[in-house]
């Protein structure tokens, strides 16, 4: 390659790279993440492939109602022995055959078979929709966990700042002879522990981002992006919390109508019924119309009398299997057992869905109360910490009291963050449970 061409390519690569670096990161909200996940998640592609394969199986079954056309050709030799011919006579032979057959009636066997496949396609579609609903929940869960991890970093940064101030205060008091050396040592230990917790929080945030990228199908190197992270007024969090507007029974009834998993099992039941009816058709005959046309060419013209040049047959055929060792009976009993199994699974899934909705609603209500309590606890812990600081500064309280109050404040702040985002995850679980 010429040096000039290499240099030009290098320049263009640098320009493209610099434009990528200077590109404004795209802000991704939760709806954007869901859209990306539905388009790019490879696990959903697996279920889409199953759905497409099911549609093709239905097409195959529908083909049994349409005419079948076959052609054949052959070349070889024929041998003729007749009373009018002394001995045998052979000749080269070329033949061509056209066969057409059409099913006329089989007592619903083919029709029910096609119906079973169509219902199987409905099952695959409902399963795909349920997997999409699960994917939406997974994205929301991962997104809220990222926001939780990010806010916990802020809490731990506050903890580091408070411990740095305390270390500075303890050193100053020690130099002034007000406090002992042990206070300085305790402050150093607590500061190291706070920095250790902050470091862990930062790594947990990185882990949460990677998890979200996996669940949502994000390519972190393709397009620069950042997550939308709304500012939360934790002091007034209880004033903006969502309220459960429907009762448990209303939500359960909604789930019975909208959960795709339940629809999938209902389609399986109907498919099993259709398959059972199709197998029962094996007890009865089927009628077919056939048309066969054959054209022969023999090399020896003397044999044309014995080998017809053209021959056509048009028939209506009855085929009736009278006995095949009890296979039909066994297939029917197997299909009946499969139907009973599907009915039991449907009732089991219906019971499980009711339990899932009840559990999800209970968790959401509990988490909502926990946010309110965690907010009150954080306010009280902050007030206690401020009082402990003043007691320590005035020599009334000791360092252990101050350290416990500070740790209680940090723990309460962390609990509020976790409770807040756990609530929104549980609300997403309610939506998933009812089939939204």
Number of helices (H) and strands (E) in the chain: give both, helices first: 9, 6
Cα–Cα distance measured from residue 140 to residue 429, given in angstroms and rounded to the nearest whole number: 9
Query: Tell me, what's the pLDDT at 1?
Result: 47
How would you classify residue 395: left for phi > 0, otherwise alpha for psi between -120 and 50, otherwise beta? left
Please measure the distance between the N-terminal and C-terminal CA atoms of the chain and give it in whole angstroms.
Answer: 59
Cβ–Cβ under 8 Å, residues 295 and 95: yes
The encoded tokens of residue 142 equal 């991962």
For 270-300, give one letter per residue: b (16+ CB within 10 A) or e: bbbbbbbbbbbbbeeebebeeeeebebebee
- Determine the pLDDT at residue 282: 84
Q: Cβ of 185: how many Cβ atoms within 10 Å?
A: 13
Equal CATH topology for 23-66+106-284+326-434 and 68-81+89-104+286-319: no
CA triple 373-375-381, angle to 5 deg: 100
Contact criterion met (CB below 8 Å) for 287 and 318: yes
- For 64, 123, 260, the CA distances from 52, given in Å and listed in that order, are 20, 12, 18
Phi, psi of 23 (to 5 degrees): -65, 140
The residue to which tokens 């862990």 are assigned? 200
Integer CA distances (angstroms), 28 to 39, 98, 139, 343, 365, in order: 15, 63, 12, 44, 29
pLDDT of residue 235: 76
Domain residue limits, the chain: 23-66+106-284+326-434, 68-81+89-104+286-319
What superfamily does domain 23-66+106-284+326-434 belong to in CATH? Outer membrane efflux proteins (OEP) (1.20.1600.10)
- CA atoms 130, 136, 139, 140: torsion sign: negative
Q: Are 185 and 205 in contact (CB under 8 A)?
A: no
Where do runs of H (alpha helix) occur along 242-297? 248-258, 260-280
- Beta-strand pair 88-105/68-81: antiparallel
Tens-digit pLDDT string for the chain (436 aa): 455 545 555 555 555 444 444 456 788 889 999 998 998 888 888 999 999 999 998 999 888 889 999 999 999 888 877 766 666 777 888 999 999 999 888 888 888 888 888 988 999 999 999 999 999 999 999 999 999 999 999 999 999 999 999 889 888 888 888 888 888 898 899 999 999 999 999 999 999 999 999 998 887 676 677 888 888 787 777 777 888 788 899 999 999 999 988 999 999 999 998 998 888 888 888 888 999 999 988 887 777 777 888 889 898 988 888 888 888 889 899 999 999 999 999 999 999 999 999 999 999 999 999 999 999 999 999 999 989 888 888 778 787 888 899 999 999 999 999 999 999 999 999 999 999 8
Question: pLDDT value at position 157?
Answer: 95
Contact 241, 89 (CB under 8 A): no
pLDDT at 236: 79
CA-to-CA distance for 351 and 346, rounded, in angstroms?
Answer: 9
pLDDT (0 to 100) of residue 20: 45
**Which pLDDT value is given to residue 436?**
84
Domain over 68-81+89-104+286-319 is classified CATH 3.40.50: no
- With a CB cutoff of 8 Å and minimum separation 6, the contacts of 122 are 263, 267
């Amino acid at each position: 390659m010429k040096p000039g061409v290499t240099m030009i390519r290098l320049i263009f690569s640098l320009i493209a790279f610099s434009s990528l670096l200077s590109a404004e990161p795209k802000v991704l909200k939760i709806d954007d993440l869901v859209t990306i996940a539905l388009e790019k998640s490879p696990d959903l592609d697996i279920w889409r492939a199953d759905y497409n394969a099911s549609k093709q199986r239905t097409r195959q079954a529908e083909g049994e109602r349409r005419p079948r056309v076959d052609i054949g050709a052959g070349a070889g030799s024929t041998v003729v022995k007749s009373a009018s011919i002394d001995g045998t006579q052979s000749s080269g032979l070329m033949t061509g055959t056209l066969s057409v057959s059409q099913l006329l009636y089989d007592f619903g066997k083919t029709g029910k078979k096609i119906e079973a496949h169509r219902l199987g396609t409905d099952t695959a579609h409902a399963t795909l929709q349920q997997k999409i609903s699960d994917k939406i929940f997974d994205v929301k869960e991962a997104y809220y966990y990222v926001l939780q991890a990010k806010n916990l970093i802020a809490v731990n940064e506050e903890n580091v700042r408070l411990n740095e101030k305390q270390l500075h205060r303890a050193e100053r008091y020690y130099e002034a002879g007000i406090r002992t050396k042990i206070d300085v040592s305790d402050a150093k230990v607590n500061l190291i522990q706070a920095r250790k917790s902050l470091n862990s929080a930062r790594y947990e945030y990185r882990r949460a981002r990677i998890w979200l990228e996996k669940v949502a199908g994000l390519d972190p190197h393709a397009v620069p992006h950042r997550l939308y992270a709304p500012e939360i007024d934790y002091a007034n969090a209880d004033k903006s919390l969502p309220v459960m507007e429907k009762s448990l029974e209303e939500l359960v009834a909604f789930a019975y109508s909208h959960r795709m998993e339940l629809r999938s099992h209902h389609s399986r039941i109907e498919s099993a019924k259709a398959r059972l009816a199709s197998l029962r058709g094996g007890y009865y005959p089927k009628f077919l119309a056939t048309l066969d046309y054959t054209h022969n060419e023999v090399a020896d013209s003397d044999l044309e009398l014995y080998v017809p040049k053209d021959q056509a047959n048009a028939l209506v055929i009855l085929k009736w299997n009278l006995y095949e060792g009890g296979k039909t009976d066994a297939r029917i009993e197997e299909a009946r057992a499969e139907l009973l199994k599907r009915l039991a699974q449907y009732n089991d899934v219906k019971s499980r869905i009711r339990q899932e909705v009840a559990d999800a609603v209970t968790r959401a209500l509990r988490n909502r109360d926990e946010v309110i309590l965690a907010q009150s606890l954080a306010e009280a812990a902050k007030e206690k910490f401020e009082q402990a600081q003043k007691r320590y500064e005035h020599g009334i309280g000791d360092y252990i009291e101050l350290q416990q109050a500070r740790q209680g404040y940090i723990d309460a702040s962390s609990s509020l963050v976790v409770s807040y985002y756990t609530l929104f995850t549980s609300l997403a679980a309610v939506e998933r449970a009812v089939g939204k």
